[in-house]
Amino acid sequence: MSTSNRQEIPGTLMVERREEVLLVRLSRPEKRNAMNDEMVLELEQVFSNIPEGIKCAVIFGEGKHFSAGLDLSELTDRDVVQGFHHSRMWHRALDSVQFGSVPVVAVVHGACVGGGLELASACHIRVAEASAFYALPEGQRGIFVGGGASVRVPKLIGMARMADMMFTGRVITSEEGMSMGISQYLTAEGQGLTRGIELAKKISCNTAITNYALMHVLPRITDSSQEQASMLESLIAAISANEPEAKGRMNAFLAGKAKKVGE
């Protein structure tokens, strides 16, 4: 039976449950969904307190844009220590997305700029609509990224491409972003959320240990030396294969009761 529960978080987010999928909508369309401190902290609140039974989440933007980045109109004059703590607040919040309890799909349309790209890159799957475009304008404004872009974006597109975006202010189109690796899926305008929910439902069908491994172990494997990475891989492979649900799925496949790849 389908369930749908809406929860408004005043000012910045709308949260809706659809069975095992949690929809999280950035809801500041009048600001192009620019991210202020309130939104960042509320994202942390949502992803640190995922309701029981939710197996995947989808983040998307209200209006014409995913997110135009940091809300520069709310910038305050901070000293170095305050600036450091502000950056670390973003890190903590976006870590709750990347390293939380459920996989997260980002559906991107219009502007995915600055902090918006930092949020999208913290998600595990990115679906882009044709209108999506990406930029890191911080370099043109005399500042440096502070919400995790320098950690996550080079892992998607490479250090040289990220440096180019910051050196020159280059804007990346949805097609370029797809070929570079920012997004894994590209859809026609208005079709992104449907595709994102489809993917979220498919991800929800995975075993819990597989999704946990992809979220928490795979990133650490890629950041480790070959010797350490191989050990981590062996450990998680042995643990996952020993799970009763995994054994049941393998037996079903061997008995011809499960679909083969490509069917």
Q: How far is CA 103 from the centre of its chain?
A: 8
SS3 93: helix
Detail the DSSP E strand segments found in the chain. 4-9, 13-18, 21-26, 56-61, 104-108, 111-113, 125-129, 133-135, 172-173, 185-187
230's enclosing H/E stretch is: helix 226-241
Amino acid at 252: A
Residues taking part in catalysis: 118, 138
Task: Give me 238's structure tokens.
Answer: 């042995």
Q: Rounded to whole angstroms, what are the CA distances from 141 to 8, 170, 234, 263?
A: 34, 13, 46, 50
Among 44, 133, 55, 59, smallest CA distance to 94 is for: 44
